Amino acid sequence: MARRPDSAQRLASRAVQIAFLAGVFVLWYCATNFWGVNHLLLPNPVAVFDQLVDVLKSGEYLPDLRVTATEFATAFVLATTTGMVVGFFVSLSRYWVRVFEPLFAGIYSIPIILFLPLYVLFFGLGPASKIGLGTTIAFFPIVLSTIAGFSNVDRTLVKAARSMGASNYQLFRYVLVPAALPVILTGLRMGFTVALLSILGSETIASLAGLGHHIVQLAEAMEMSRMFAYIVFVVAIATLLNVTVSYFEARGRRLG
Amino acid sequence: MSAGDVAIHVRNVGHQFGEAGEARSVRALADTSLDIARGELLCLIGPSGCGKSTLLNVIGGLLTPTNGNVQVAGKPVRGPMPHEIAYIFQENALFPWNTVDENVRLGMLFQGVPKTEHAGRARKSLEAVGLGEFADHYPGQLSGGMRQRAALARALSLQTGILLMDEPFGALDEQTRMILGEDLSVLLASTEKTIVFVTHSLGEAVFLADRVAVFSARPGTIKKIIKVDEPHPRKPDFVTSEKFTALRNELYALLHDEIRKAVSSEAPRGRNGGAKSGAA
């Protein structure tokens, strides 16, 4: 019985969300078509759509997409491995947790993107500096959630497993990992998001290639409708990735 | 009793949490000696913080005592002995991400039972505790009483000679406790297990135990051992017999003073303050 108003409410809020987006579109369309907003500041949505079709048809986005995707995948894999390994070993000792948890949490709270110029100096304008920055930024949520996940496992479960003769490996595989997994998955999703954000962001600031780089180039060439088309393209990819990751997170929670 | 009949030897066991002289150190258990006979059900009862759970942890090899030693099956206890001893905790000791059946099998996997025996032994022990139909449920889908039955099934499937139970019904309501106690008495009468059972409940102790060891307040040690001379399985009407009431009253009188002492010494610190650091 409680389900009905619940799903009705969800439907209603969905409708409001869609209406909001539609309203933005209508405003956008009116502003550029009837209210005389300069097309250099805000291109017409129809023109943007035409450009988007052109971009997708020509496949000219492929080299930049490949650069960004490679940077992102490398950074995320690096951050995940280092974050989870470091987090696990820190969680083994209460002392290390007391030392490193506040340290990592402190660094996590500062805007690491400010160090981009340093990364460019060290690693150059190419993908290496993006990978370095993305890895650093994604490392912190992952390491923090790994520490939290492993160090908050219910002691009774550990005692129970030990009393039944569990080896260290069995304790890890059958108790610690499933207990910590939901928390770690949250950290992975956060790391995923910030890695993507920081890589696209740093491409727009200092780079030689990549989707962020291309968007800035189009802006500097005043090709506003094509630039918007690229933005729509990147937003669509990011949304798709986030939905995929959230789906896997939910699945992992159920399995865990 | 002769040496062969003794399942568990406890010799001068004492335990202190934290270093001596430290502000946070607590002497939980004073010199305690005890012999537990094979096939006997012994209840440990006493005020909170009297060290009865500490003694159980020491017997189970989950805690190394500051002094003294325990022998099980003629061997000194130096760590968990999964082939001799199964342990049942107060609550939340089932793995919540596994079904009841998987929980039971996991115990056997840890203990080293050959895989081919897992299914049969799991089914048998789940049926013994009346959970045959709930094998595929997750612990979160069961009531507190059913969860403790599942934990009991997991322990039974390990086929150990000794069962240690640390307030297994402590978190349950009175009615559920009574039923579980009766079922336990029937179930255990058919096995030859040696059982050490920690409880707060006087009635539970008298109903289940062959002997009840009454602890003094902290630092706890055994003040007196009372024999309950009544064959297993105990009938529900044992509870209303005069023998039961007399034994219960005797226990109450023994405990009353100790509980007063424990309560008056409790004010400066939390009751579990010392237990955490030593639990690991």
- For residue B272, the model assigns a pLDDT of 47
Q: Which of B60, B89, B154 lies nearest to residue A156, judging by beta carbons?
A: B89
A78 CB neighbour count, 10 Å cutoff:
18
Q: Which of A165, A174, A178 lies nearest to residue B111, judging by beta carbons?
A: A165
Tell me the average pLDDT across B10-35. Answer: 82
B40 CB neighbour count, 10 Å cutoff:
19
pTM given for the model: 0.80
A33 Cβ partners below 8 Å, 6+ apart? A44
Q: Which of A156, A163, A256 lies nearest to residue B82, judging by beta carbons?
A: A163
Closest CA to B93 of B171, B41, B15, B28: B171
A10 Cβ partners below 8 Å, 6+ apart? none
Instruction: Say how far apart CA A187 and CA A168 lie, in whole Å.
Output: 25
Q: Which of B82, B92, B98 lies nearest to residue A164, judging by beta carbons?
A: B82
Share of chain A above pLDDT 70, in %: 96
- The sign of the torsion formed by the CA atoms of A103, A108, A114, A118 equals positive
Q: Which residue of A has its CA nearest to B105?
A: A164
Q: Which residue of A has its CA nearest to B111?
A: A165
Residues facing residue B26 across a β-bridge: B17
Q: pLDDT band for B277, please (50, 70, 90 cuts).
A: very low
Residues of A engaging B, defined by a Cβ cutoff of 8 Å: 154-167, 170, 174-175, 178-179, 256
CB contact under 8 A, A164 and B62: no
- For residue B280, the model assigns a pLDDT of 33
DSSP A50-69: HHHHHHHHHTTTHHHHHHHH
Low-confidence ranges of chain A (pLDDT < 70): 1-5, 254-256
Q: Which range has the top average pLDDT, A17-21, B168-172, B254-258?
A: A17-21
Structural domains in chain A (count)? 2
CA of A29: how far to CAs of A33, A42, A230, A233, in Å? 6, 10, 18, 19
For the cut 70, the answer to whether the pLDDT of residue B270 exceeds it is no
Is there a domain that residue A42 lies in? no
Largest CA distance in chain B: 55
Is there a domain that residue A17 lies in? yes
> Do A10 and A134 fall within a single domain?
no
CB contact under 8 A, A155 and B85: no
CB contact under 8 A, B89 and A162: no
Check which CATH number belongs to the domain holding B52 and give it: 3.40.50.300
What's the angle, vertex CA A247, arms to CA A244 and CA A248, rounded to 5?
Answer: 90
Q: Which residue of B has its CA nearest to A174?
A: B106
- For residue A5, the model assigns a pLDDT of 64
Tell me the average pLDDT across B79-99. Answer: 90
Domain that includes residue B209, residue range: 3-84+162-171+191-279
Is there a domain that residue A45 lies in? no
How much is the mean pLDDT over chain B? Answer: 84
> Do A209 and A251 fall within a single domain?
yes
- For residue A163, the model assigns a pLDDT of 93
CB contact under 8 A, B62 and A179: no
Is there a domain that residue B235 lies in? yes
Instruction: Say how far apart CA A190 and CA A181 lie, in whole Å.
Output: 14
- For residue B98, the model assigns a pLDDT of 92
Check which CATH number belongs to the domain holding A155 and give it: 1.10.3720.10
For helices A224-255 and A211-220, angle between their N-to-C axes, nearest 10 degrees:
160
Is there a domain that residue B93 lies in? no
- For residue A254, the model assigns a pLDDT of 67
For the cut 80, the answer to whether the pLDDT of residue B275 exceeds it is no
pLDDT tens, position by position, B127-143: 988 888 999 999 999 98
Residues of A with CB below 8 A from B93's CB?
A: 156-157, 159-160
User: What number is the ipTM of this complex?
Assistant: 0.84
A18 CB neighbour count, 10 Å cutoff:
10
CA of A26: how far to CAs of A47, A95, A230, in Å? 15, 58, 20
> Do A33 and A95 fall within a single domain?
no
Tokens, residue B170: 């402590």
